[in-house]
Amino acid sequence: MCIRDSTGDEEAYKDGHDAQCSDAVQATVCWYPPTGPQLMDNSALHVWVDNFPDLCTLVSDKTPPFLLLHGLQDRLVPYQQSERLYDALQAAGIPSDLYQLEGADHADCLFVQPEVKDRIADFLDKTMGNQPLPC
């Protein structure tokens, strides 16, 4: 798998480099994503969000499987941000899972415990299997 960007094999972004390789993302593991920052309390954000897209509107049949991880006590990016994306993925029929970490805040040390690492490895094994790398 060669991933230079997430253009999903769109010809407009091909540059001839690694032409035999797909640049489509095969699987996504996403920690506490701000999926629609316009819907959040912007005073909590440290980035400019006026032109940030609502990621839920970008879900398509080309969207790869997702594993979303989010702490239920996240004070920076509300847990509902992951719920929104999970609902959009499910509605589009995209394989996805939302893993809730009870008591975890944003970027909490609970995200690196063995149980979480095992869940990520299981997701990647299930999604990617033993696919040979084409490049």
pLDDT in tens, 66-104: 999 999 999 988 999 999 999 999 999 999 999 999 999
Give me the pLDDT at residue 2, please: 33
Measured between alpha carbons, how far is 68 from 38 in angstroms, rounded to an integer? 20
**Between 100 and 1, whose confidence is greater?**
100
Measured between alpha carbons, how far is 20 from 68 in angstroms, rounded to an integer? 30
Sign of CA dihedral 45, 47, 51, 57: negative
Residue 49 Cα distances to 24, 37, 52, 67, angstroms: 26, 6, 5, 24
Confidence of residue 3 (pLDDT cuts 50, 70, 90): very low
pLDDT in tens, 21-33: 777 788 999 999 9
3-state secondary structure of 123: helix
Give me the pLDDT at residue 48, please: 61
Q: pTM value?
A: 0.79
State which amino acid sits at residue 112: V
Strands 66-71 and 96-101: parallel
